[in-house]
């Protein structure tokens, strides 16, 4: 595949025998309209599964299909455990704001009277990890070294959404921040020009033996107050819940 069309989130027109070749971060995507079908192939250079992923996936759209495709960003379909670029201590009573650059999925929809979702493709394949105890844990994705204290202009990329996290240590202990679980199912996605953001997640750490109190703002973050909503959360919530958010260091395996 060759990247010969600038990537743009939004609507793309595909004429008869037309072709789109797009690059979104590490993902290369090709879409063709031929013989009454929509055909999609994708791969990531260097991915050992390249040959399998590059095969064409084919759909026959409704007869009244408009020829338009919507490419929309979406968060990963599971919670994600992230590791800061550099672990740090959060002392008793202190606060810290960090930013996680979350790799997105691209959702491809055929538009028209019979709108149809064709495919959702991760821009980056994340590894699996187990979060929590053997009895009460849940399968998450793992994202290595992608949380930082400061964001610069150069770190905003088309295939990443920036998720602001406000961390408060309300416990009687200092907290070493090595791993953080982010519940992407409750996050909205916002667009500010070419930049993508989630709403703010506020986490109050209450101690090793307590679940953290988590609040999702439900609005664009303070860094992008005028951003427009692109996608609502995958699951509705009351904005506040309790969850095991930080790694417990007393575990026999550091960070899990």
Contact 158, 102 (CB under 8 A): no
pLDDT of residue 212: 73
Give the predicted TM-score (pTM) of the model.
0.84
- Altogether, the residues listed in the chain come to a count of 256
What pLDDT shows up at residue 215? 87
Q: Rounded to whole angstroms, how far apart are CA atoms 149 and 177?
A: 12
Of 101-110, 159-168, 228-237, minimum mean pLDDT range:
228-237
What's the CA gap between 167 and 86, in Å, rounded?
15
Nearest-angstrom CA–CA distance, 121 and 118: 10
- State the average pLDDT for the chain: 85
Give the rounded percent of residues in the chain with a pLDDT score beyond 90: 55
Query: Does the CA dihedral 32-34-37-41 come out positive or negative?
Result: negative
* pLDDT value at residue 61: 94
Measured distance CA(162)–CA(148) in Å, rounded: 10
Query: Which stretches of the chain are DSSP H helices?
Result: 50-53
User: What is the average per-residue pLDDT within 38-44?
Assistant: 93
Q: Which two tokens stand for residue 201?
A: 């997640």
Q: Tell me the pLDDT tens digit for each residue of 62-79.
A: 998 989 999 999 999 999
Tokens encoding 39: 């055909």
Is residue 97 within 8 Å of 109, Cβ to Cβ? Answer: no
If we measure between CA atoms, which residue out of 226, 223, 222, 206 comes closest to residue 214? 206
Q: Which two tokens stand for residue 235?
A: 């699951």
User: Tens digits of per-residue pLDDT, 171-203?
Assistant: 888 888 888 889 899 999 999 999 999 999 998
* Alpha-carbon dihedral sign for residues 65, 69, 73, 75: positive
Q: What's the first-to-final CA gap in the chain, in angstroms?
A: 40
For residues 185 and 240, give the distance between their C-alpha atoms in angstroms, rounded to a whole number. Answer: 13
């Amino acid at each position: 595949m060759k990247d010969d069309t600038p990537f743009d989130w939004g609507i793309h027109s595909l004429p008869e025998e037309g072709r789109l070749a797009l690059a979104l971060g590490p993902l290369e995507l090709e879409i063709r309209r031929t013989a009454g079908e929509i055909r999609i192939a994708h791969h990531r250079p260097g991915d050992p599964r390249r040959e399998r992923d590059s095969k064409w996936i084919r759909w026959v759209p409704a007869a009244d299909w408009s020829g338009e495709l919507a490419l929309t960003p979406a968060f990963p379909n599971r919670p994600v455990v992230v590791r800061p670029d550099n672990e740090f201590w959060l002392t008793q009573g202190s606060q810290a704001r960090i930013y996680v650059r979350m790799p997105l999925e691209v959702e491809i929809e055929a538009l028209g009277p019979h709108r149809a979702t064709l495919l959702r493709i991760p821009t980056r394949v994340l590894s699996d990890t187990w979060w929590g105890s053997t009895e009460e844990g849940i399968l998450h994705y793992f994202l290595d070294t992608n949380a930082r204290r400061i964001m610069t202009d150069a770190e905003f990329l088309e295939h990443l959404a920036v998720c602001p996290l406000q961390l408060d240590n309300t416990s009687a202990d200092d907290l070493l921040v090595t791993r953080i679980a982010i519940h992407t199912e409750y996050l909205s996605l916002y667009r500010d020009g070419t930049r993508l953001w989630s709403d703010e997640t506020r986490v109050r750490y209450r101690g090793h033996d307590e679940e953290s109190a988590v609040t999702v703002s439900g609005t664009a973050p303070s860094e992008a107050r005028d951003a427009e909503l692109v996608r609502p959360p995958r699951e509705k919530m009351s904005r506040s819940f309790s969850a095991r958010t930080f790694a417990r260091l007393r575990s026999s395996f550091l960070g899990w």
